[in-house]
Structure 1
């Protein structure tokens, strides 16, 4: 069992480890294309992305914010797109691999522990769950339509991007695998670490599965950071029965997985560009018409 202070210190260490792993990953991908990027600039651009992702549905603004950070750091647009594309190609298979392993190893235990509570939560809140599902489908339709229209636009530089991809050293691509694993593992471990402050807690594997699902469901939910749906799942027992302290645990988990990134990214963005230009940029994104 951990004290509350020990758990928060461990979460702070996991938060920092995640930031460093992702900073080195994007730095490797940029430098593999022949352009410089310092670790400091990599940390800043990722923090910008975390803040933007945490404040937008399906984390949609995260990559544009990171792209802005890369351009500000002096990277060319072509190399920036290439580096972000490499991240996606490498990181998502790692996410699926970790998720697949957790399901294979712990799914039966997870369902026996979490299933009854989730069924009760769904029975009580099914109208709200149905509304979230409908809103999710509508948002996905809008996103798909925007992407389809974007694909019709002339794509200058495609040949340059393809050439850069073919010339990317294999060490850079392979180096993204362990850093991506550190990213997934550090974030997934935060909930079990916080739960170790409880006198009694669910089995570690059950908490790992629940933590993973609650984290990565935010990629498809229509509210910023999955607000509402993720919280209902947490309190409904997605990570097992966390007892009477589950509300406080939810707040602590939300802080380390979303709030800390938003605070850090917003602070760095305000320091770099100032409040007025930042608000103007947000307004332009919000008011951009759907074509």
Structure 2
């Protein structure tokens, strides 16, 4: 545990160091002057959008759980959403977010199958919202790159969704693959400690498939509201950088702002250290310097990274004390 905490601290410190270095690196960097000349209403709007993004995800989580006869309050849904952000922020490749939320949903009273169906519904609505938003943004950017420029990414995302769908469609195949693994003593011990004795991945996948059918087909009103929330929170997430650049009068087109954020948000899955160890900060500074050479890169980097990463992670650590670590100790 101490080694993990040290690695996480060093990784986050590396990211903070890159932010500070970028703030004073360029000869044109004058952060205090740029702040004085910035549009404070737009900065306040960027903060409001960053705060609204996890709240919209919490509303969607509550709607989906109620569609499966769950009774989560909006406050509990917000805590579960934020603890997922916290877990993702301190785990390698952001891998801890979904397991932490799955454990939190089960702890809140949902069955494991219902919790898995909720997470799958969130994934599918996020996928559709992301594809729609990127196609619209590229089509309206006026940069000469129409929607066809994003089709390779769309195909990759759709392929990942299809793979998950196939795994849920044939749970017996999944069961044959995982039964030898689950019968081993270390894995069985971990499941017993987590309170999941007798857990079968195949049976769980079958339950997730059945509950997902109820969620995505049988309760269409809840699914529609969840889809609207997904579109709104995805739009809010990608709107932070355009609002910041508008506040500082930086000439950055919408297409570049969307693609820069997309590359960093989803490229973090390839960085095997908690928080990215400065990689997202370096990528952001390099991309923004190329797209808008006159921009106050360091100041924009600090504000953008705070609003899209540190704010949610810190809030998750504050509002859900001990939840993630308690579930980790149980597993």
Q: Deviations over 1:169-210 (max 9, x none)?
A: 122222222111111111111111111232443234432332
- Please say which of residues 26-35 and 215-224 is displaced more in the overlay: 215-224
In the alignment, is the contact (CA less than 8 A) between 1:107 and 1:209 conserved in 2?
no
Larger RCO: Structure 1 or Structure 2 (Cα < 8 Å, ≥ 6 residues apart)?
Answer: 2
Counterpart-to-counterpart distance in 2, 1:227 and 1:107: 35
Displacement of 1:86 in angstroms is 1.2
Counterpart in 2 of 1:31? 66
Counterpart-to-counterpart distance in 2, 1:102 and 1:223: 31
Gaps of 5+ in 2: 1-33, 146-173, 180-199
Gaps of 5+ in 1: 111-147, 286-291
Counterpart-to-counterpart distance in 2, 1:199 and 1:159: 52
Counterpart in 1 of 2:87? 52
Displacement of 1:44 in angstroms is 0.4
Displacement of 1:93 in angstroms is 2.4
In the alignment, is the contact (CA less than 8 A) between 1:53 and 1:62 conserved in 2?
yes
| Residues 156-235 of structure 1: pairs in structure 2 closer than 5 A | 156-168=203-215, 169-235=219-285
TM-score of the aligned structures, taking structure 2 as reference length: 0.64
Counterpart-to-counterpart distance in 2, 1:101 and 1:151: 40
In the alignment, is the contact (CA less than 8 A) between 2:112 and 2:204 conserved in 1?
no
In the alignment, is the contact (CA less than 8 A) between 1:99 and 1:212 conserved in 2?
no
Counterpart in 2 of 1:252? 303
Counterpart-to-counterpart distance in 2, 1:150 and 1:87: 27
Counterpart in 1 of 2:195? none
Q: How many residues are treated as equivalent by the alignment?
A: 243
In the alignment, is the contact (CA less than 8 A) between 1:23 and 1:39 conserved in 2?
yes
Displacement of 1:79 in angstroms is 1.3
Counterpart-to-counterpart distance in 2, 1:150 and 1:88: 25
Gap change, CA 1:246 and 1:284, over 3 Å in 2:
farther
Counterpart-to-counterpart distance in 1, 2:309 and 2:275: 7
TM-score of the aligned structures, taking structure 1 as reference length: 0.72
In the alignment, is the contact (CA less than 8 A) between 1:207 and 1:240 conserved in 2?
no
- Please say which of residues 196-205 and 25-34 is displaced more in the overlay: 196-205
